[in-house]
Amino acid sequence: MDLQLTTVTGGGILLGERNYNTTPTQTLNNHIANSTQTISNPTTNSTQTLNKRSKTSTQTIKWSVPTGLNLTREAKTANMCRVVCLYKGYTYLGHGGAIDRIDQHGQVKKAFINLGGGVESIATHNDRLYTIMFCGSNPFKIHVHDLKSTTLITSWTHPTFPNTGQRMCLMGDNQLAVGDWPSKQIVIYSPTGEVIRRVPCPPSLTMTSVVCMSSCGDDSVVISDRLAGKVVRMSLKDGSLLWSSDRVTQPGGIVHHPAGYVLVVSCQVDHTIIYVLDEKDG
């Protein structure tokens, strides 16, 4: 089993579950943190404060480091769940040839967007859906679709490995960060596919097909490398290594939470653990 995840409003997370048995249905779970079921052992129990400022008032939102998960919603699809993201109340799920859309009530719209190959990665921004698609021996392509009309806006080729984990994320200033693992670098694109710059990855990473990535603020990303057994945070300004952690066994799906921590999935032989790492030092 392989899990991919993303955060949702209110401290929750979405888990995309991909099973490798003969059961045809796949599960998309909405979990809320801080339940009584303990699944991880955070090193700290501190509470962090985020300030959202406006011209007239200041609203303070307090987040707590999660200690467990509580299932609040579940939806099933008939295809293999590869990657998942949330945008404006809808969950978009990429699988073997299309994008399914799931609403807040768990209703699934099959093949919301049809694609000509396997969906390897997915991201949403400004009512646009970005996908990395694999078409057998053909080069990988990044497609950009309009979420309102589902029409294709543009596409371009991108070098990478076949993968079952997220390797694309949106950064500040409308920039798209995409892992180019064969060249051990991250390519920063404009929304229309122009290359803005290329950032080399730390040499300690293997950068093979089992690497996942998530944005971590406007100028850095967190990366999980299963074969290297590492989770790292690197700067997109110069590629420097901000921290490296080997606390997670076989790290897989990864996502940064705005409360200031990083969630990492570890899929073991007979169980799955979600680790909670501090964004400052791992």
Place of tokens 């110069």: 238
Q: What is the spatial distance between Cα 194 and Cα 219, in angstroms, rounded to a whole number?
A: 19
What average pLDDT does the chain have? 76
If one compares 153 and 138, the residue with the highest pLDDT of the two is 153
pLDDT digits (tens, 9 = 90+) for 25-59: 344 455 434 332 333 333 333 333 333 333 434 44
Cα dihedral 1, 120, 30, 257 sign:
positive
pLDDT above 80 for 209: no
Collapse the DSSP code of 8 into the 3-class scheme (helix H, G, I; strand E, B; otherwise coil) and give the result. Answer: strand
If one compares 24 and 244, the residue with the highest pLDDT of the two is 244
Collapse the DSSP code of 182 into the 3-class scheme (helix H, G, I; strand E, B; otherwise coil) and give the result. Answer: helix
Phi, psi angles (nearest 5°) of residue 62: -105, 130
Average pLDDT on 64-69 reads 70
Q: Which two tokens stand for residue 41?
A: 């052992």
Average pLDDT on 215-244 reads 90
Angle (nearest 5°) at CA 241 between 180 and 275: 85
User: What is this structure's pTM?
Assistant: 0.76
64 — pLDDT class (breaks 50, 70, 90)? low
Q: What is the spatial distance between Cα 48 and Cα 41, in angstroms, rounded to a whole number?
A: 18
Percent of the chain with pLDDT over 90: 30
Average pLDDT on 91-100 reads 87
If one compares 113 and 167, the residue with the highest pLDDT of the two is 113
* Predicted pLDDT at 95: 81
Q: What is the spatial distance between Cα 199 and Cα 201, in angstroms, rounded to a whole number?
A: 7
Please report, for the chain, how many H helices and E strands are present, in that order: 0, 25
Q: What is the spatial distance between Cα 198 and Cα 187, in angstroms, rounded to a whole number?
A: 5
118 — pLDDT class (breaks 50, 70, 90)? confident
pLDDT above 60 for 196: yes
Domains of the chain (ranges; CATH) run 2-41+60-278 (2.120.10.30)
Collapse the DSSP code of 80 into the 3-class scheme (helix H, G, I; strand E, B; otherwise coil) and give the result. Answer: coil
| DSSP letter string, 21-89 | SS---EEEEEEEEEEEEE----S---EEEEEEE-SS-EEEEEEE---EEEEEEEEEESS---EEEEETT
If one compares 27 and 206, the residue with the highest pLDDT of the two is 206
Radius of gyration in angstroms for the set of CA atoms belonging to the chain, rounded to a whole number: 18
Q: What is the spatial distance between Cα 214 and Cα 165, in angstroms, rounded to a whole number?
A: 10
Average pLDDT on 203-222 reads 82
Place of tokens 């390797």: 167
pLDDT above 50 for 119: yes
The alpha carbon of 7 is separated from its chain's Cα centroid by a whole number of angstroms, namely: 9
pLDDT above 90 for 76: no
Average pLDDT on 253-278 reads 87
If one compares 26 and 199, the residue with the highest pLDDT of the two is 199
